Structure 1
Amino acid sequence: MTVAFRIESVRLDTTSGAVSYEFPGDLTVLAGHTGVGKTTLLELIKYGLGGDGQLAPVARDHVTDVHVSIHVGDERYQLSRGLDAARRATVRVIDLVTGDRLADHVVGGDERSISALLLAAMGLEAGLRAAARGAQSTRAGSEITFNDIFRFMYVPQSEMNRDIAASQENYLNPKRKSVFEILFGLTSGDLLQKRSRINTLRAEIDAAEKEAEIVTQFLTDTGLTSRFDAQIESDSARADEAEAKAALVGLQDQLGDVVDRHTQVLRDLLSDAENTLAEARSLESEMRRQKDDYETERRRVKQDIDRLARMASAGLRLANIEFSVCPRCTQRLDQRNVPNGSCPVCLQTDVVSGIAIGDQYESEQLGQQLGEIEYQLTLIEKQEREALDAIASKAGLVASLTSEIDERTADRVTPRLQAYADAAAKAAVAAERQRAIERVLMQWDRAEDLTQKTESLTAERARLQRQVAEAESHLAQRKAEIFNELDAEFQTTVADFGIPSIQSASIDRDSYLPILNSRPFREASNAGGIITATQVAYWITLVTVAARRHDTFMPAFLILDSPRLALNAEDDIAGQMYRRFSTQVAVTAGRFQFIIADNELPTEPGLNIAEIGFSYESPTISTVAHPGPASVEPLVEDDAKADNEE
């Protein structure tokens, strides 16, 4: 049941109009020189599907929306995504079967994500995690999304002659292997969840063991070797506390008998005197605060009065000056007639002379304020003296009453008070000892709980490990069958390609990566051409075997960006590559879809290829004039030549 996945069309809305491309053919080649935008178009397709496309400046500056129409499983959708920051987080979805506009789906979110929509259409479960399978791993793993599946469907130019499915990124290896297993039916959602749970159980067990170690050390420091000893100590402390409290009750009853009526009256008087003394002290404190505030205000008013006096004095001094030159513009003033009673400078009515400072309104107001402040200070000082007298009087009364009460009760109460204090101290010590032992008992309970928790988690992990081993055992035969087919197909493809120096080729059962001449593909050769040819052979093998078996989730879909980039003069390999693609699509029309970006079409006749040609005069984003090859910086530098020279 190889999953159907096809890109039907792509529309780019730009600032100068729309650009559309149809992909009706099973084998489509985007042909054109470097810099015309082939990689840009493929990265925009990836972006439209919810991925992090590597967007060229022309796309960022001129493309506003990407619309990708796809056929996935039994569904047909149009996915639309804006390139601006405000809209890039959502994908607008239209069901092309019903014509209905579905709810917007988010990119990278947990609820209603575009990844979950596409995975569901492919018949895959969303929310699964790819747990690392090392013995020390304690993480559930990263969530598997459609972008991880798309790595098996799109080989970007940046990876073509370097790596396969980002296998050199170690942190991505758990995902890569889990996706491979999902696509070829070598695992299940339940099995992946159990692997994740095994890892998180390992973390929980480690945490429980560390906490148990801390609790055990605490219990060792208490000197109580067992919970039984702690319980005995707790019972003893409880008995001591009960005995001390009983003694306190008896002493309280005895104290009640030795207090006569006269002493009680004295105590009432003492209480009243103490309350009155406290009120007097509070009043004295308040009067002192108010006095400070008024004195501060008095100083401020005096400063204002002094300021007005200085201003008046300065004005009188200036009035006696006969200006012969204007102090502002320096024009002469003694050569003009000045009316009587006018200012010789501004010619306005002279109002300076004849006004005393004491007659001014502001001066009068300040004088009244100063008088009011002096009056309030007099009242406050009087109340303060009265409060001080009351304090002295009540303090003496309190001292007298206290002395008289002490004399009346010294012989009868003091001995009992000492006994009362001793009993109270004993009760407090017993209560504190009991609380401490209760904390110890709680830690013993905690230690027992942690032991049970550790045993339970360990048992659960062991059970899950057995279930995982059983599931892997059941899948072992299928895995062997699939890898036997993959090995045979891969060996045939590599031989047909005629990759130099490669005599044997297979796919590793553990890493799921190519093995060349019994060595990992990265060790077999560093040459970009060999890596590229191996890369293409690998992906053709996966798609071919998946389509042949009809029982995988591997889409019969593949995008290759510039596979001939590192092949250069290896026309035989490139020709064989295109012949394999052409042969595949010729078997059953509509079963596969291959989209290849290349600088030019192969020259071999008879290949079933649909071409979409581009040039500097007609680039992929044709609504924007191409600046010329010298002004374009490719998304991926063409370093294939350097790779080959290695």
Structure 2
Amino acid sequence: MATHLRFLALTVTTATAETTYRFDQPATVISGPSGAGKSSLLMLLKHAIGGTAVLTPAVRDHVHSVLASVVVGEQHMILKRTISGDRSDRVDILDPETMALQHTLGTRAEEGQRSLSDVLLDALCFPREKIPTTRNGKATTLNLTFTHLFRYVYLEARELDRQVVGHLDNHFKKQRKVLFELMFGLTTSTVMELERQVNQLTTDLRKAEAEEENVGAFLTATDPRTDDELRTELSGLRDMLQNAETTLRTLRTEISETSAADAVLRGDLRAAVQAATAATQEMLAARELVEARESVVAQVELDLRRLERSATAIDQLSPFHFVVCPRCAQRLDARTVPEDHCAVCLQADPAEEDVDPAAVREARSALEQQLQDARELMQADAEVLRRARDRSSDAEFLATNLRRQLDAQTRDVVAPRFDAISDASARVAALNGGIDAVLHLRDSWARVRAIAQAAKDITALRKAANAELKVRKAESDARRSLVTDLSSRFTTTLRELNLPWEQSAVIDPKTYLPVVDNTPFESLQASGGALQAGVNIAYHLALLECGLTHPDILVPSILLIDSPRKALGSNRDDQERGRRIYSRFKALTDAYGQRLQLIIADNDTAPLPDDAFSTIELDYTHPMVPGVAHPGPNHTTRTEDGYQA
């Protein structure tokens, strides 16, 4: 059944007076002339429950606060909110028995804080959801709030013949549809969570694919060898290293056997020579890699500058129509220029995608990301080169000192073998450097493979989520018969109101909006907007009754309508339609009693002599704002001309 929402009373407090307006009956008519405060009273109800209300200067200047007694679901709440000032964005929740302060909550959601909307939605047992959406190519969400839901039950005078539940508001489009689907069970929390997962997985997949492409392109530009070629080269380098190490060990054995007396010195020298040679080879390998990185960085910077110059030139010069040559000042208008060609250089105009700002921004973003990756790799390699130079310098200095000592002792016997050892050590170091370089490149290619595998995993997860989402949506689709029932009730209500429509009236199963004679609401034409207003009222009455009839539809059981007969018109037929609308109001209150609430602001009292309608009568002697004298009919301000609070 419909979620229970009911206003019991509203107390309006000024500096000098206080008035309580009660809503005891299922239907209450707030009547009075223009400017007496009917619409403002409805707006103050909206203000009390945390909404953004349009208030007249009289309300803003004189009303200090409002206090609403509300039944939300099974809970009786007292909500107090000031009109202006530092605390106007806060609502106090008071104890209904003692009027003691229980909580003070914000009207807007704050990170990590519970808002008034959260409390009201929980009390209604209405799902608190975040709508999955995409912004700037990234997955994000839109919050659903109680004030969004309230738009389904409050027909403001300025929107009665203009839009249905704010359907012309592009910022509210997603919330409106999802709220309807949640009310009718056409979507569920599980479905929305799956949609959020699919959105996030799609964003992650795009990011992984872009990263794989960028890193792969950088590696290809730095070194053309493929991963398979590097694996083959690595195997050959390891075989050559094994042979070189065997030769080096043999030479060292011969040195050891030649002069046992100089074993310690030779050992120190061998170690020093080996370290110096390895450090030199490491330095050379690091230098070559840095030079290659610098070349790539320079090329990407050149491409980026070329793109910037091209974009700037297009942006600065495209608006100008040259009649003389900018170089030699000769006139150009005498020449015959083919269509779609430049009047200056006679070349064909560039394709739209080449000058499209979005395409230029996308190209710039890709180049900037590639430049950032290249610079990070270059900086890392430059640091490796610096450390290699330091080690090489230290090792060479030590080896030179040891060699001088050994030469002085064994100039004729040991020195020649040390030369051979030096060459062998250099060979080993060079091979080790080559192996390290190949391993470094293979690690980079392994990263590309890991990114590609991550993209495959994300794709599989998204496929599974989409499959489950399809199943869940199919389960929800079984409830679409409820939309058909709503459409039938809408058609019946329109016929009862005797509105000037011809063939058909349905609820669009995709937009959930009324369509009359195959014409959407905003395209309907009638004198003074009477048809639009009648269709809008019929739509909301059908929605309310549908919620009251079905036990599992979460439509709030309340409807606030501002100035229905004013929107319908004033001729005899219009007055008859107004009477029919009130007859429909009465039929609903007779059928459902206290299960629903209707609050109608109108210029006149109900056109039916029946006690089903309680009345709040306002006039210039007794206006809505207590304790403030009304200046009279010549000084009225409509709510539509007020300010938002």
Deviation at 1:137, TM superposition (A): 7.9
**CA-to-aligned-CA distance 1:242-267 (integer Å, 9 cap, x gap):** 979x989989x9996799xxxxxxxx
Deviation at 1:425, TM superposition (A): 8.8
**CA-to-aligned-CA distance 1:340-391 (integer Å, 9 cap, x gap):** xxxxxxxxxxxxxxxxxxxxxxxxxxxxxxxxxxxxxxxxxxxxxxxxxxxx
Conserved 8 A contact 1:34-1:634: yes
Corresponding residue for 1:514?
Answer: 514
**Separation in structure 1 between the aligned mates of residue 144 and residue 190 of structure 2, nearest angstrom:** 14
Cα 1:556–1:434 change in 2 (3 A) is: same
Structure index of larger Rg: 1
**Separation in structure 2 between the aligned mates of residue 48 and residue 494 of structure 1, nearest angstrom:** 33
Corresponding residue for 1:455?
Answer: 456
Q: Equivalent residues in 2 for 1:332-481 (5 A)?
A: 437-480=438-481
Cα 1:116–1:420 change in 2 (3 A) is: farther
Deviation at 1:121, TM superposition (A): 0.9
Deviation at 1:581, TM superposition (A): 0.7
Cα 1:411–1:552 change in 2 (3 A) is: same
Deviation at 1:17, TM superposition (A): 3.2
Runs of 5+ unmatched residues, structure 1: 260-404, 639-646
What SS does the aligned partner of 1:589 have? helix
**Separation in structure 1 between the aligned mates of residue 155 and residue 506 of structure 2, nearest angstrom:** 20
**Separation in structure 1 between the aligned mates of residue 633 and residue 442 of structure 2, nearest angstrom:** 80
Conserved 8 A contact 2:163-2:521: no
**Separation in structure 1 between the aligned mates of residue 38 and residue 429 of structure 2, nearest angstrom:** 85
Is 1:178–2:178 an aligned residue pair?
yes
Cα 1:490–1:239 change in 2 (3 A) is: same
Corresponding residue for 1:203?
Answer: 203
Deviation at 1:74, TM superposition (A): 0.9
What SS does the aligned partner of 1:195 have? helix
Corresponding residue for 1:82?
Answer: 82
**Separation in structure 2 between the aligned mates of residue 632 and residue 423 of structure 1, nearest angstrom:** 104
Q: Equivalent residues in 2 for 1:321-332 (5 A)?
A: none
Cα 1:581–1:224 change in 2 (3 A) is: same
**CA-to-aligned-CA distance 1:23-74 (integer Å, 9 cap, x gap):** 1111111112222222222222212211222233233333332221111111
Corresponding residue for 1:58?
Answer: 58
- Tell me which amino acid in the other structure corresponds to 2:127: E
Corresponding residue for 1:123?
Answer: 125
Corresponding residue for 1:371?
Answer: none
Match of 1:578 among 576, 579, 582: 582
Deviation at 1:523, TM superposition (A): 2.5
Cα 1:524–1:440 change in 2 (3 A) is: farther
What SS does the aligned partner of 1:636 have? helix
Conserved 8 A contact 1:557-1:593: yes
| TM-score for the superposition, normalised by structure 2 | 0.67
Cα 1:457–1:568 change in 2 (3 A) is: same
**Separation in structure 2 between the aligned mates of residue 87 and residue 422 of structure 1, nearest angstrom:** 84
Deviation at 1:235, TM superposition (A): 6.8
- Tell me which amino acid in the other structure corresponds to 2:225: L
Match of 1:614 among 614, 618, 638: 618
**Separation in structure 1 between the aligned mates of residue 426 and residue 15 of structure 2, nearest angstrom:** 87
Conserved 8 A contact 2:266-2:406: no
Corresponding residue for 2:323?
Answer: none
**Separation in structure 2 between the aligned mates of residue 485 and residue 89 of structure 1, nearest angstrom:** 40
Corresponding residue for 2:386?
Answer: none
Cα 1:547–1:97 change in 2 (3 A) is: farther
- Tell me which amino acid in the other structure corresponds to 1:581: F
**Separation in structure 2 between the aligned mates of residue 478 and residue 241 of structure 1, nearest angstrom:** 73
**Separation in structure 2 between the aligned mates of residue 439 and residue 599 of structure 1, nearest angstrom:** 83
Conserved 8 A contact 2:158-2:640: yes
Corresponding residue for 1:553?
Answer: 554
- Higher mean C-alpha deviation, range 40-49 or range 146-155: 40-49
Q: Equivalent residues in 2 for 1:36-55 (5 A)?
A: 36-55=36-55
**CA-to-aligned-CA distance 1:412-464 (integer Å, 9 cap, x gap):** 79999999999999898777766654543333232222222222222222222
**Separation in structure 1 between the aligned mates of residue 625 and residue 202 of structure 2, nearest angstrom:** 53
Conserved 8 A contact 1:154-1:560: yes
What SS does the aligned partner of 1:611 have? strand
Deviation at 1:533, TM superposition (A): 0.8
Corresponding residue for 1:70?
Answer: 70
Corresponding residue for 1:16?
Answer: 16
Deviation at 1:598, TM superposition (A): 1.2
- Tell me which amino acid in the other structure corresponds to 1:93: I
Conserved 8 A contact 1:582-1:607: no
Corresponding residue for 1:591?
Answer: 595
**Separation in structure 2 between the aligned mates of residue 40 and residue 119 of structure 1, nearest angstrom:** 25
Cα 1:169–1:437 change in 2 (3 A) is: farther
Deviation at 1:566, TM superposition (A): 2.2
**Separation in structure 2 between the aligned mates of residue 553 and residue 437 of structure 1, nearest angstrom:** 65
Runs of 5+ unmatched residues, structure 2: 256-261, 269-400
Cα 1:622–1:215 change in 2 (3 A) is: same
**Separation in structure 1 between the aligned mates of residue 429 and residue 59 of structure 2, nearest angstrom:** 79
**Separation in structure 2 between the aligned mates of residue 142 and residue 490 of structure 1, nearest angstrom:** 30
Conserved 8 A contact 1:181-1:187: yes
Cα 1:470–1:419 change in 2 (3 A) is: same
Which is bigger in relative contact order (C-alpha 8 A, separation at least 6)?
A: 2
Cα RMSD between the aligned structures? 3.8
**CA-to-aligned-CA distance 1:506-554 (integer Å, 9 cap, x gap):** 1010000001102222223375221111100000010011111222111
Q: Equivalent residues in 2 for 1:239-250 (5 A)?
A: none
Corresponding residue for 1:153?
Answer: 153
**CA-to-aligned-CA distance 1:105-146 (integer Å, 9 cap, x gap):** 2222242211111111111222x1223599x98534311111
Conserved 8 A contact 1:131-1:174: no
**Separation in structure 1 between the aligned mates of residue 57 and residue 148 of structure 2, nearest angstrom:** 26
- Higher mean C-alpha deviation, range 511-520 or range 608-617: 608-617
**Separation in structure 2 between the aligned mates of residue 419 and residue 568 of structure 1, nearest angstrom:** 111
What SS does the aligned partner of 2:629 have? coil
Cα 1:578–1:432 change in 2 (3 A) is: farther
Corresponding residue for 2:115?
Answer: 113
What SS does the aligned partner of 2:87 have? coil
**Separation in structure 1 between the aligned mates of residue 532 and residue 229 of structure 2, nearest angstrom:** 72
Deviation at 1:233, TM superposition (A): 4.9
